[in-house]
Structure 1
Amino acid sequence: MKSRKIISIILLILMLLNIIQSPVQAMNIPMKETYIEDLGECERHLQYWKESAGVWSYIITTMVGYRIEGNLHYAYCMQRERKGVGGGQEGYNVNISQMLQTSEVWRAIINGFPYKTANELGVENDQDAFVATKQAIYSVMYNWDVGTRYRGADERGWQIVEAIKSIVNNARNGTDTPNKTNILKIEKVGEFKKESAEYYSQEFKVNNTVEMTDYIITDIQNLPEGSYSTDINNIPKIKFSNKENFKIFIPTNKILENIEGNIKISGKLKTYPVFYGESFDEQHQDYALTYDAFENISAEAILKVNAYKSKLKIYKTDSETNKPIEGVEFNFKYDNGTNIGNYKTDKNGIIEINNLRQGKIVITEIKTQNQYILDENKREIILEYECEKEVKIENSRKKGNINILKVDKDDNKTTIEGVEFDLLDSTGKNIIKHVKTDKNGKAEIKNLDIGKYILRETKTRKEYKIALEQNITIEWGKTLNLTIENEKMKGKVKITKISEDDNLITGEVAGTPIANVKFEIYDDSGKLVDTLITKTDGIAISKDLVVGKYIVKEKETGEYYEINENDFEVEITKNGEVVGLTISNKSKTPPPEKPKEETPKIEVPPIEPIKKLPVTGY
């Protein structure tokens, strides 16, 4: 029996140390000290087994309490061996600096009076409820067996015993603790979203792990001017019922920089707070001080809004082809001068800039491809919050012109009509333009992209050679004047002069070349274009003659030949051609011969035949 008492004392000391040394709960303690007063002795209906005397004795209980702003709250002594209020002991002050933290004792109190009514505890009145709660606290602290320690002196006494058992059972087997952390939380619901053109909103829900009546938004800090709270139906208000969600509205046009707002709420939660009141000396009892079951608990949430959620997309294209232009550099800045940076278009002619805030952005083109005109216009665009703006910017190509004058090489004053040209790119594979000279020998090509080209003559008049192609360069804003000469195609006429027959005068046989024969050549208009004289070989070759038809006329011939009065037509059809023409001349008739003198006849005597000789031997 003695050992059981020692164990109980040790447990009590450990429990009291735990009560005193536990950290204070994060809540507002309504007072620093209070006066514990005697509320009178309770009626005697409960007995306990007094082991030292071996008898059942009545339990004498003084109801004690304290007041805050006139409201009465009850208190329970923590050390039964010390002097407490009642029984002749006047009331005294206790210091309140912390909360009761011992879980079993706290569970005994919150499952007893006044957190539960006398009716809920099954006893007659508040005094009986106070007695039951106080003895339950002792039973937990001293590890007493309720069934053997207590009995009822009457029916009310037995009701008290049953109440003690119930309280102790809840205290020893419960799981609730007084150190309730995070019992009130604010959590975001969904994303920060657009409600209208004027506002964005964030929905919140309030989670509470214990019973709560309602809550109020006490403060909204570090949010833009014009922000306010509403219910889920967008009705502005600050007070909400339990489990009701709320929203915070922020003006769209005020989201200019990142926001980190603070939303504070206060809710009335059923936390069963029990304060620990320490006496000012070690001779007097400390007290566990009950309070309102509901207390105001605060919670807060951080609302972070990223202001840099807008995007800008630039499309740089050719004004003629609509094809993208790579490598064009732009500068971007806000209208207040804040520089965003320089960016270049990619191979698709696109610049994408993310993480921009809303506002007016100034776009300046600072560099483009050589073949394009730099667009010096500054563009201002309005970028709204959390939106993507697309801007198409065109570049005009740098242009130049070509003027072509087609002339005769031999006579630059003579222009040539109808000459056709192809203008090709620098590879010579793609035709850019096809032109034809007018009656003045002129052709022009306007608005050509600058760069290198090939000018190729494809067709000219039949009497001219096709000119050689030219490599040309078109410069920005300039006109390239080209005078292109056409050389006429030329050939020659080769005349071979021979005798048509044997010349009886000269003794020359037919086909003999005849020298010093004079010929004249006329074009198809009858104009004399050349005069030729055959050489000793009977050949005469004309100068270069423009391709075409000609008439060859013999004007003078050799002394012993007749002039050939025929006109001979020849045609030169291609450049460098030598057209051969063989012309024969009849010999002149020689004059008649003079008669010859007769030679006298001489008589020659006949010769006698030789007689046949006789055959002889050797």
Structure 2
Amino acid sequence: MGKRVIIRVFTLLSVLALFLNVFLPRASAEVMTHEKYSMNWSYSNSLGKHIRTEMIKNSSGQIAYCLTLGLKSPNGEDLPEMGKTDNVVYRVLLNGFPQKSVQQLGVANQNEAHYATQLAVWNALGQLDVNELKHENKNVEKAAKAIISNANNSEETQDVFMNVIPAEKQKAELKGEFFETNLYSVQTNAKGGSYKVVAKNAPNGVKIVSENGEVKDQLSVGEKFRIQIPKNTKTGEFNLSVAANLTKVQAIAYRGTDTVQNATVLLERNEEKLSSDLAVNWEAAGSLKIKKVGENGEVLADAVFEVFNANNESVGKITTGADGIAELNNLPIGTYTLKEIKAPTGYVSDDKPQTIEVKTGETGAVQIVNNKVKGNIEIKKLSDSGKVLPNVEFTVFTEDGKEVKKVVTKENGIANVEGLTYGKYYFLETQTPNGYIGNKTKYPFEIKEHNKTLTFTVENTEVKGSVKLLKVDNEDVSKKLEGAEFELKDASGKVIGEYKTDKNGEINVKDLAYGKYSFVEKASPNGYVLVKEPIMFEIKEHGKIIELLAVNHLIKGDLEITKVDVADGNNKLPNAEFTIYNEAGKEVVKGKTDDKGIAKFEKLPFGKYTYKETVAPKGYVLNEETFSFEIKENGQIIKHIVKDEKIPSIKTTATDKTDGTKEMHTSKSVTIQDKVEYKDLQVGKEYTVKGKLMNKETNKPLVVNGKEVTAETKFTPTEANGFITLDFTFDATGLEEKEVVVFEELLKDGKVVTTHADINDKGQTVKFVKPSVKTTATNKADGGKEIHSKDSITIQDKVEYTNLVVGKEYTVKGKLMNKAINKPLLIDGKEVTAETKFTAKEKNGFVTLDFTFVGAEQQGREVVVFEDLLHEGQVIATHADINDVGQTVRFVEPSIKTTATNKADGSKELDASKSVTIQDKV
């Protein structure tokens, strides 16, 4: 009974909900169809039947559920929308199929899932009680009850809500280049959708960004956002709201007919939502920093500044600390003006306002320089008589003794020191004025006021002193010099006195005022060089005697001798020795010329001198002349040029005049020509060359016919170097294998100046050679020594020669001799002769002569060849030995002799019964 009451109550509530929803505006109509499937899964005892249903679907294929148990399911009908079902059914649908899958519901297939959901819908409408049913399908029973339980535990509604959190005012904080709010979240029960953030009265540059920093005009449900305001935006605030287009699943009811049941389906629907206004504010602030330094960069404490904003309103006063820095923080951004209202002690206040820009999150910094308080002093310098004193040096010191500056008084006696910084000082006279005693007084003062000048007067006493001059010899300072005359001049050159050295060599002058002076020598002591340079001195110390030493030098001069070749003045000669003698003839000094041909004799005392060349340069004739000179002026340099003649030299080359060779043949008349090369003769002077021939073997003059063989000639050279020739013509008979050497001597003015007489000099030597010949006569036809008589035969004679002179032309003449009578062989009454000419290419060699003649009827005769060797028509060698086998050829008669033998065995006996061969050896 109780269950029925509950079912009726639910039924009434569901009907009431449907009744209320019927009157909601229709959105659209939907065509519904259904699909049947087999089921006998749940039996209702109260109804006395199995509970059956069909799977209803709309035109989009979405599953719909029946809202009226007992009526038939729609099948092709166009059902109008009648609003939303109540939240109880809505929660069932959210926990049923297809919102929950087959697996989530724990059933075997979608038919079971659909059936269990349908039971839960009717149960929610009170049209049946799932607990009253007899379930034959336990999956369905379990799923239906689970759907009902979950729906009962759910508070989900179909209404769309939206909240934006945080809802309270947010203060944007500076992060980098922007002020940023915390993240905003849009909270809604909508399944999806999008929203926009609408800013109201926001400053320029405001951005809406997603959680990852992306700027967006529109965001999706679930995305968070924050607000960004540019950092240099002045402090302010504005409002914003969120306008959303939200999507949510709702249970939509469709009206059936009297016979067709109502249906419901879960559909997504959009809904516009607008949040309430949200407030955002920010504070754009920064700082300013002042660094106070002195003109040298030193930091300054205790400088006070007042800070004004752009409206000239004071925003605070700040004072620099020990680091010279003052800061003012949390200032609204903008331009500020700084005014210094108190300067650090000892510094001048900077009255010029300074502007500084304060930016968000930054510190605007400015360095302001203060100049120190500076003052001046003026020092007036006077003598004790009131005379202004220029060029006096003063030094200014700090109180603790550190030097600050040096100054010097000008022509008016005043020295100014400007720009002294704040503090205590003193000054001292650090350079006494010329001619005055130094003032040691310490003058303290203090600089307290800017640009103020303090004045001081400082006096000095004038200085006086004396001078003593002593005149001495420079080489012997103990020797005092009397009679030197001087003028004493002051610094301007004015003569203030004339003085002469006494017997002690002294001059004394007293009470000279401070200043510079000079002694000028007007006359030197006798025999000394006048000193032209003034002797400077200075009176600087009061009462002091200045002592001066004045030195005079004896007059001295130099001699410079240049030694040159008489033939070539540019040829300077080293190593020539000269000796200097004084007027009494005593040797003073020796010296030699250097590589430049110069000999210097320095610092010779005043007087007369002579000099001679005592050693001539190598290869030159000693100059025996005596030279004189005189030293009269100090520093005088006397220059002399002394000329020397070179010792001439000669070189000779003796040859055969006919062909220039060094070897000759003896004859009755030969000429040896000697080429005499000379060097270093004096051009234009007459010379004589004399020569004679020497026998090398005896190293004595060659004597021919009782006389020496000589030659001579005179000549005058046009150049220093050249040559001439001498001819020695004589009878050379009997000089074979002798060597002759030419000796020469060169004379000038009858005196021998050079010779060339080297017995071993090959160039001066000529050799007379002794040629020889040897012959070998043969039959030209076969080279044999025997020959047969016949009409034409040729005997060839090989003539071997020795000791010829290479390059000379020779003639060989031969004739045939009848050995039997030792007379020339006559053929047809004429001698048989032959000859040939040749030029010797080697000292030893051979030539051949051919003797062609009619040789008939010469049998048994021996013929000998005689030969003569001639040079220039003169026989120089002969080979004529009638018994010389080598020179002999023999004419022979032919003859024969035979020897017969048995050819078979060479015996002298034969076998008559056989055929035999006799062999005859002829």
> Normalising to structure 1: TM-score of the pair?
0.51
Which residue of structure 2 aligns with residue 309 of structure 1? Answer: 285
> Offset of 1:247 from its aligned partner?
6.1
Letter in 1 for 2:296: T
Relative to structure 1, the CA distance from residue 344 to residue 181 in structure 2 (aligned partners, 3 Å threshold; closer, same or farther) is: farther
> Offset of 1:465 from its aligned partner?
3.7
> Offset of 1:390 from its aligned partner?
1.9
> Offset of 1:416 from its aligned partner?
3.6
Letter in 2 for 1:415: V
Relative to structure 1, the CA distance from residue 470 to residue 186 in structure 2 (aligned partners, 3 Å threshold; closer, same or farther) is: closer
List runs of 5+ in structure 2 lacking aligned partners: 25-33, 53-65, 72-79, 253-264, 465-508, 514-539, 547-922
> Offset of 1:459 from its aligned partner?
4.2
> Offset of 1:448 from its aligned partner?
1.5
Letter in 1 for 2:217: I
- Shifted more, 255-264 versus 445-454: the winner is 255-264
Letter in 2 for 1:238: D
Find the partner of 2:193 among 214, 226, 243.
Answer: 214
Alpha-carbon deviations, 1:77-113, whole Å to 9, x = none?
Answer: xxxxxxxxxxxxxxxxxxxxxxx7xxx9985463248
Relative to structure 1, the CA distance from residue 444 to residue 48 in structure 2 (aligned partners, 3 Å threshold; closer, same or farther) is: farther
> How many correspondences in the alignment?
415
SS at match of 1:477: coil
Do 2:428 and 2:440's aligned partners in 1 also have CA atoms closer than 8 Å?
A: no
Letter in 2 for 1:421: F
Which residue of structure 1 aligns with residue 83 of structure 2? Answer: 73
In 2: Cα distance, 1:72 partner to 1:163 partner: 29
Do 1:133 and 1:164's aligned partners in 2 also have CA atoms closer than 8 Å?
A: no
SS at match of 1:376: coil
Do 1:184 and 1:206's aligned partners in 2 also have CA atoms closer than 8 Å?
A: yes
In 2: Cα distance, 1:444 partner to 1:468 partner: 17
Find the partner of 1:132 among 120, 123, 131.
Answer: 120
In 2: Cα distance, 1:218 partner to 1:137 partner: 42
Letter in 2 for 1:548: H
> Offset of 1:421 from its aligned partner?
2.9
SS at match of 2:145: helix
SS at match of 2:302: coil
**What's the % identity of the aligned pairs?**
24
> Offset of 1:186 from its aligned partner?
7.2
In 2: Cα distance, 1:163 partner to 1:209 partner: 30
Which residue of structure 2 aligns with residue 497 of structure 1? Answer: none
Which residue of structure 2 aligns with residue 27 of structure 1? Answer: none
Alpha-carbon deviations, 1:267-317, whole Å to 9, x = none?
Answer: 62658799xxxxxxxxxxxxxx99967766666896755433323222221
Which residue of structure 2 aligns with residue 224 of structure 1? Answer: 203
Structure 2 residue 242 is matched with structure 1 residue 264: yes
SS at match of 1:62: coil
Q: How does 1:457-476 map to 2 (within 5 A)?
A: 457-461=429-433, 463-476=437-450
Which residue of structure 1 aligns with residue 219 of structure 2? Answer: 240
SS at match of 1:325: coil
Letter in 2 for 1:135: N
SS at match of 1:170: helix
Q: How does 1:159-170 map to 2 (within 5 A)?
A: 161=141, 164-170=144-150
In 1: Cα distance, 2:269 partner to 2:415 partner: 104
Relative to structure 1, the CA distance from residue 353 to residue 227 in structure 2 (aligned partners, 3 Å threshold; closer, same or farther) is: same
> Offset of 1:404 from its aligned partner?
0.6
In 2: Cα distance, 1:489 partner to 1:304 partner: 93
> Offset of 1:430 from its aligned partner?
2.3
In 2: Cα distance, 1:258 partner to 1:218 partner: 19
Which residue of structure 1 aligns with residue 133 of structure 2? Answer: 150
Do 1:454 and 1:470's aligned partners in 2 also have CA atoms closer than 8 Å?
A: yes
Structure 2 residue 395 is matched with structure 1 residue 422: yes
Which residue of structure 2 aligns with residue 607 of structure 1? Answer: none
SS at match of 1:315: strand
Relative to structure 1, the CA distance from residue 265 to residue 333 in structure 2 (aligned partners, 3 Å threshold; closer, same or farther) is: farther
Do 2:116 and 2:141's aligned partners in 1 also have CA atoms closer than 8 Å?
A: no
Do 1:228 and 1:249's aligned partners in 2 also have CA atoms closer than 8 Å?
A: yes
In 2: Cα distance, 1:219 partner to 1:425 partner: 74
Letter in 1 for 2:426: I
Alpha-carbon deviations, 1:18-48, whole Å to 9, x = none?
Answer: xxxxxxxxxxxxxxx9924499xx9999967
RMSD: 5.8
In 2: Cα distance, 1:271 partner to 1:341 partner: 63
Q: How does 1:591-606 map to 2 (within 5 A)?
A: none
> Normalising to structure 2: TM-score of the pair?
0.36
Do 1:404 and 1:442's aligned partners in 2 also have CA atoms closer than 8 Å?
A: yes
Letter in 1 for 2:148: V
Do 2:206 and 2:227's aligned partners in 1 also have CA atoms closer than 8 Å?
A: yes
Letter in 2 for 1:35: L
In 1: Cα distance, 2:461 partner to 2:309 partner: 65
In 1: Cα distance, 2:388 partner to 2:296 partner: 37
In 2: Cα distance, 1:200 partner to 1:36 partner: 50
Return the structure number with greater strand share. Answer: 2
In 2: Cα distance, 1:130 partner to 1:295 partner: 29
Return the structure number with greater helix share. Answer: 1
Which residue of structure 2 aligns with residue 597 of structure 1? Answer: none
SS at match of 2:121: helix
Find the partner of 2:95 among 93, 101, 111.
Answer: 111
Do 2:310 and 2:335's aligned partners in 1 also have CA atoms closer than 8 Å?
A: yes
Alpha-carbon deviations, 1:533-592, whole Å to 9, x = none?
Answer: xxxxxxxxxxxxx98339xxxxxxxxxxxxxxxxxx99xxxxxxxxxxxxxxxxxxxxxx
Letter in 2 for 1:111: N
RCO higher in structure (CA 8 A, sep ≥6): 1
Structure 2 residue 559 is matched with structure 1 residue 549: no
> Offset of 1:337 from its aligned partner?
3.2
Letter in 2 for 1:450: Y
> Offset of 1:524 from its aligned partner?
0.8
> Offset of 1:441 from its aligned partner?
3.0
In 2: Cα distance, 1:316 partner to 1:273 partner: 78
